[in-house]
Chain A
Amino acid sequence: MSLLAPLGLLALGGLLLPLLIHLQRQIQREPVSFAALRWLSAAARPRGRLRLQQWLLLLLRMLLIALMALLMAQPVWQPAAPDQLELVHPALPLGESDGQSSEVESRWLSPGFPPIESPPASAVVDTASLLREIDAQLPLSTELRVRLPAALDGMDGERLALRRQPVIEVVQTASEPPGRPPSAQRWSLRFDDPEHPALDYLRAGMAALSGATPADRQPGAALIDLDDVHDLNAAPGQTQVLWWASEQNPAEILAVADWLNAGGVLIWLRAQTATTDASEAPVWHSADGERAIHARRVGLGWLLQPSSVLDAENFAEVLQPGFPKLLQRWADPQPPPANRIRADALQPRMIEAQTTPSPQSLQAPLLWLILIVLTVERLLALGRQRSRR
C-alpha cells in the first residue's frame, strides 16, 4: 500500500479538533445556580485536571478524521504479482491440464483477464490490445506465457511491441478460425440483351470456377450453381449472387429490389461506363488504379458496380488467368478480416517503456468505511443527547 498524495496526511492535524471539543465540554459554560455559594471554597480549580468525557465517541470521531485524512492522501493498493502468468486465448478449447496446475496462474486473454475457472465471455477479442495491457500491468519479473490459436484474430496495424518476450505456444485447433467458409453458392445471371459484351467473359469465368466435374474445381473455389436466364423479371429465388447484365436499374424490378434488400449481392454490369460515387470505397481496384469495383450497401445486401464496361477493351483483367478468382472475390464483398495473422508469425518487438503497473485505488472502500463510522458516531451522539433529555 502506498500514498499518492502523502501531504494529505497533514489533515491528521484535524485530530486535535475532537480532542479540543471534548475538553471544552469539560467545563460547562452555563453557570449553575447555587444559593449556598458562601460555603463553597474556590480552592479547587477545575482546569487543573484534564479529564475526557465519552471516550467511545471521542475515539470514533478521531477515527473518522483519520480516515478522512487517509482518503485525502489517496492510498493505493498494489496487488502481489505472480511469478508466472499463463494467458489462454478464449478461442482455444480447455485441455485437461488447464486450470489445474497450481504453480502457474492461468487467465483468459479477454477484457478484465478473468481466471480460467470462469467461462470466457467471447471468442473474439482484441488480442494485440490485451497483450499490451497485460504487459503494462505486470511487473517485468513476471514471466508471461501465452497460448494462442494458429489463426490469430484481433491484431491491429501496429506491430506488437512489448516490454518482455512472452512465451508463445501455438495450439492447432481442429475447427477453422471464424470467417466465411467457401461453400456451395447459387449464382444467377440475368440479361436482356444476348449481345451484352460482358456475358461471354462472365460465362467463361464461371465455367472455369465450377469446372466440368467437382474434381476439376479449383481448391478453395466456390461451388457455383449457375442459373443463366434471359429474363430480367425472373425471380432470384435461392440465388445468393446475381450478375445483372443490363442497362435497366435492378431497383425498378420489385422482386429483385426485395431480394437485394434482404441480403443479396448484385453485380450490375452496364454497357456504358458507370458513373460512380467517388466517395464509395472500392472493394477492388486494378494495380494501376484505373479500374475498380465500388460496393454500396442496399438494405442488408450489396450492390456492386465496376467503374468501366466489362470487356477486353476496357477491362484488361477479363483476359487474365486470374479472372475467375476475381469473380469469386467480387461475389464476396465482405473481405476476410485484415487483422488475422498466423500465430507462429507473431514476433513482438522489445521496447524499454517505463510503465508503472496500475495500482488499485482504495478510495471506494475507504469511503464506505467512513460512511459506516459516521453512521455509528451519529447514532451514538444522538442517543446520548436523547438520553440526557
Chain B
Amino acid sequence: MDLIPAELRPHLKRLRLSTRISAQTYGFGLQTSRNRGSGLEFAQYRAYEPGDEPRMIDWKLYARSDRHYVREAERDSALRVWVVIDATASMAQFDRVRPKHSRLDSARILAASLFEVALRQGDRFGLIVLGDGRLQLTSADSGIRQRDRCLLTLDGMQAGGHWPDVAALEPLWSRTAAHDLIIVLSDCFDPAAAELMERLARGGREVRSIQPLCAEERDFPYTQGHCFFDPETGDELLTDGPAARERFLAEFEAAQQALAQRLNGCGIAHVAHYLDQPLQDPLLRLFAMNGRGAGR
C-alpha cells in the first residue's frame, strides 16, 4: 500500500522542510543537510529579515557596508517536524463527484509526503492526530521505521468526533519545543483550530497550515432543496440550494479570508487546498526548495 500517488512523488524532490528561525542548539543530525543556519561551515551572507536573531548579524560587515547581513553556515540538521492532523468529523467531508476522496484522505497523503521529505532530510518527525475529543501522538524520531510507524497510524485513522479540549491538548505543549516545525492539516472550521495554531506560533513553534477544502464549499453546486447537516454538531438545516448560494459563498469566502489574515498575522504560512486541485500545489507553495515559497 502506497499512500502517495505516483504523480505526486516526483514533486517531493523539490521540497525542503525548514524553519525560518534557525535552530542553533539542537545538536547534529545524522546527515549533512543543505539547510543554512548557524553551524561550522560558512555558507553565505544574506540580507537581514525580520525575525533573524540580532546576534546572527555580522556586525563587522555592517560596519563596512552599513547594511545588516546575516552569516549563514551549513547547518547540520536537527529539525523536528510534527504533522498535526485534524481528524474531527468535519474532515470526513467529500465532494459528491469524488466520494472516495475525503478531506482526511488528502490530509493523509500530504502527511505521508511530508514524512517522506523529512526522512530524506534525516529530520526527526512525529505525528499528532486530533479527533474524537482526544489527542493521539506518535513521538518524534527519525528513520525508516519511524516513517512506517507513522504511516501505520495514518492508515488506521478515522474521522469523527469533536476537537479535543484544552486539557487533552496538553501533550502538544509538553512534547513539542520551540523551533519545531509544526504542519497543521485541518479545515479550521472549528475556531479552536486557529486558536491552537496561534498559541503554538506564539510559543515559538514554526507553524504551517494546509487547509483541505471541498470543491463544493467553493462552488456550492446544489440545485435543489436539501436538508444539510453538520457532521460535527449534528445540526440540520433545510434550505434551497440556488437561493442560499450567493450568501453562503460570500460568507464562506469572508471567513476564509479572515482566517488567512489571522494566521498570517501570527507568522503562520497558511495555504488552502481544494480537493479537486493537484496535491503538490500546497506542498510546493509552502516548502519549495528554490523560488520563494509562502513560508519564506
Instruction: Give A residues with C-beta under 8 Å from B.
Output: 26-49
Contacts and interface: CB of A to CB of B under 8 A. Distances in A.
A27 B238 contact: yes
A40 B244 contact: yes
B41 interface: no
Contact of A40 (B90, B91, B92, B248): B248
Contact of A37 (B92, B216, B230): B230
B31 to A, nearest CB: 41
- State the majority secondary structure of interface residues on A: loop
Nearest to B251: A39
Nearest to B89: A35
Contacts, number: 97
B45 interface: no
A46 B237 CA distance: 11
Nearest to A48: B240
Q: Which 6 A-B pairs have the closest CB atoms?
A: A46-B225, A44-B243, A35-B90, A46-B240, A37-B230, A34-B228
Nearest to B255: A39
Contacts of B92: 33, 35
Contact of B239 (A29, A36, A46): A46
B108 to A, nearest CB: 17
Nearest to B248: A40
Contact of A45 (B229, B236, B239): B239
Contacts of A47: 225
A172 to B, nearest CB: 85
Nearest to A37: B230
Contact of B189 (A30, A38, A41): A38
Nearest to B103: A35
Interface string B65-100: 000000000000000000000000111110000000
Interface residues of B, number: 35
B231 interface: yes
A27 to B, nearest CB: 5
Given A32-B222, A33-B93, A35-B90, A40 B240 contact: no
B224 A40 contact: no
B228 A37 contact: yes
A37 B217 CA distance: 10
Given A26-B225, A32-B222, A38 B239 contact: no
B232 interface: yes
Interface in B198-236: 214, 216-217, 222, 224-233, 235-236
B227 A27 contact: yes
A289 B222 CA distance: 104
